[in-house]
Amino acid sequence: MCEDPCGGPPLGRVRASSPADVDRAVARARRAQPEWAALAPTARAAPLAALAARLRDRREELAELDARDTGNLLRRMRADVDMAADTLERFAGYATVATGSAVDGGAERLHLVLREPFGVVGRIVAFNHPLLFAASRLAAPLLAGNAVLLKPSEVAPRSAEVLAELCADLFPDGLVQVVQGTADVGRALVAHPDVRRLAFIGSVATGRTIAEAAARVAVKTVTLELGGKNPLVVCDDVPPERAAELAVRGLNLGTAGQSCGSTSRLLVHSSLHDAVVEAVVERLRAVRVGDPLDPATGMGPLSSAAQHGRVAAAVARARDQGARVVTGGGRPPGPAYAAGNWFAPTVLDGVGPDIDVFRTEVFGPVLTVTPWRTPAEAVELANATGYGLAASVLTDRTGDALALARAIDAGYVWVNDVSVHWPGLPFGGHRDSGVGTEESLDELTSYTQSKAVHLPVARVT
């Protein structure tokens, strides 16, 4: 049953798979994959481009499904469909470079390095960008010659059903399959001995569980795109209004702050602290919380009651530990917000490393504020978590920007910007934020295994 995050009646049902269904799906995928792998990369690229066109044709339907399932803004979900289609087209364009290499061994030898697919790939994706993650993350493993079993989140499963329908006649039977369900289905996929390549997008805790479970079965290749507690470092030359605009944009309110890339820790120079906090609060109080399908809405509800409970508990714990709630902190006032997973945009000030919310991902519309005085202190605060996904640095001093970007331990750093994924740049985290990168040629290579071939060459006589 798909629950309505806005508090309305259930949205519908999706048939859940079972562990036995996973076994059958893997068997089908194994039968389909050799035919697919035998094709030239350019032949594998054509269906990816065709799938992109189909996504664009069904854009409004797919976006509305995700908006209703997640509570994310409809306009944000439209952008997700566009991004998924763009990614499929971009990877289709990589077909001509999806090759191995040769190493000259002199007149009598030629050495080849071949790139071969793993076979069957398992992809488990998160609830916050359902169609984007499901569709775009098919591109690299398919172009590399693999079959894919995709497990969407049970929180937002419906767009994946449409995606499976769109793929059905584009690829060999069984090459792309969707398995729905809760954790037992994910465990069956992770533990299947014939799924030697796994990729996961989600929380650190679940990522660790997946890595451990996979290792118990076999030596599998596992990549993980996990959480973040990303710093936004504001230097003393930044106008407060500009800092506030980027701080609010970096919260990703289009997904109610449910984004691993949100810059949810505002580290602001002490000379600007009061002015920046005031400007941020003014902007957040003006955000209209409501129906995600309404163009006037600035933020919808959280995606599930469970997520609402986690965010509320994190804010309550921060308050108990000494943080000051400047705005928000719970449901917006009024009877319209009594049912559903509504949570007001929230600012917590006076949050140092001794307060849990400084170090723990909330995955909601919660911004913490911490002042700093020296660049060394800013770097120390930025790196004072176990995460290392993304970071942002605001300053017009190029030298300071580069020095801070180098010193902050994160896989993706914005300078004077937030939340932008530039096409072709690798996205992935350091430390507990993950293993491996996506969205680039590195992702394509990660779905292949290298094979070295030593080839004698006869001399010309």
Active-site positions read 225, 260
- CA gap 223, 426 in Å, rounded: 13
Q: Residue 260 pairs with which residues in a beta bridge?
A: none
Residue 310: name the closest of 357, 261, 255 by CA: 357
For 366, phi then psi, to 5°, come to: -125, 120
Question: What is the SS3 assignment for 68?
Answer: helix
**CB-CB contact of 321 with 312 (8 Å):** no
Question: What are the residues whose beta carbons fall under 8 Å from the beta carbon of 121, sequence distance 6 or more?
Answer: 141, 146, 147, 148, 149, 195, 197, 198, 199, 447
Q: Residue 221 pairs with which residues in a beta bridge?
A: 197
- CA gap 263, 98 in Å, rounded: 34
- CA gap 239, 231 in Å, rounded: 18
- CA gap 62, 444 in Å, rounded: 26
**CB-CB contact of 247 with 263 (8 Å):** yes
Q: How many CB atoms lie within 10 A of CB 311?
A: 23
**CB-CB contact of 66 with 131 (8 Å):** yes
SS3 content of the chain, % helix, strand, coil (to 5): 40, 20, 40
- CA gap 143, 47 in Å, rounded: 10
Question: What is the SS3 assignment for 326?
Answer: strand
Question: What is the SS3 assignment for 403?
Answer: helix
- CA gap 78, 60 in Å, rounded: 7
CA 52 to chain centre: 19
Could you tell me the two tokens for 187?
Answer: 């465990």
For 332, phi then psi, to 5°, come to: -60, 150
Question: What are the residues whose beta carbons fall under 8 Å from the beta carbon of 113, sequence distance 6 or more?
Answer: 100, 101, 102, 103, 450, 451, 452, 453
Tell how strand 324-327 and strand 346-349 pair up.
Answer: antiparallel
